[in-house]
Amino acid sequence: MFFLKEYYPVLIFLGFSLALAGVIFGASFILAVSDADTEKLSSYECGFDPYEDARNAFDVRFYLVAILFLLFDIETIFLFPWSVSLSQLPSIGYWSMLDFLFELVVGFIYAWQIGSLDWE
């Protein structure tokens, strides 16, 4: 039991944090006002009703466009550090970034060709 003595402060902090989290959670559950108004019950930006059966078929185009946006948006973020340090990069850094941009453009053209960006 002597070796557990050095863990007592950790156990005290753990107990205090769990008690505080329980008090905060309980207070927010008891004191929260839960009035459902028309804005909360309206459709979200994606067009789905917030309260419907989960087994209904949904349109995958919303998610496809969101994933494509994230993919191309995150990939273009790599352009900022490259453009800042372009004068200090060796030629391999320049050509590898041009290869990256070429692959990005080819991917964008492919997504456009297969109709991923069409909203019919």
pLDDT at res. 64: 83
Q: What is the tens place of the pLDDT at every residue in 16-70?
A: 999 999 999 999 989 987 777 776 666 665 566 556 566 667 677 778 888 888 8
Which pLDDT score, from 0 to 100, does residue 111 have?
Answer: 87
* pLDDT at res. 75: 82
- Whether the pLDDT of residue 120 is over 80: the answer is no
Q: 65, 117 in Cβ contact below 8 A?
A: yes
Report how far residue 61's alpha carbon sits from residue 56's, in angstroms, rounded to the nearest whole number.
15
**To which residue do tokens 């990939």 refer?**
75
| Rounded-to-integer distance, Cα 76 and Cα 53, Å | 38
The predicted pLDDT at position 79 comes to 85
Question: What does the pLDDT look like over 60-119, one tens digit per residue?
Answer: 777 888 888 888 888 888 888 888 888 898 999 889 989 988 998 998 899 889 888 777
Cβ(104)–Cβ(75) below 8 Å: yes
Distance CA(49)–CA(46), nearest Å, equals 9
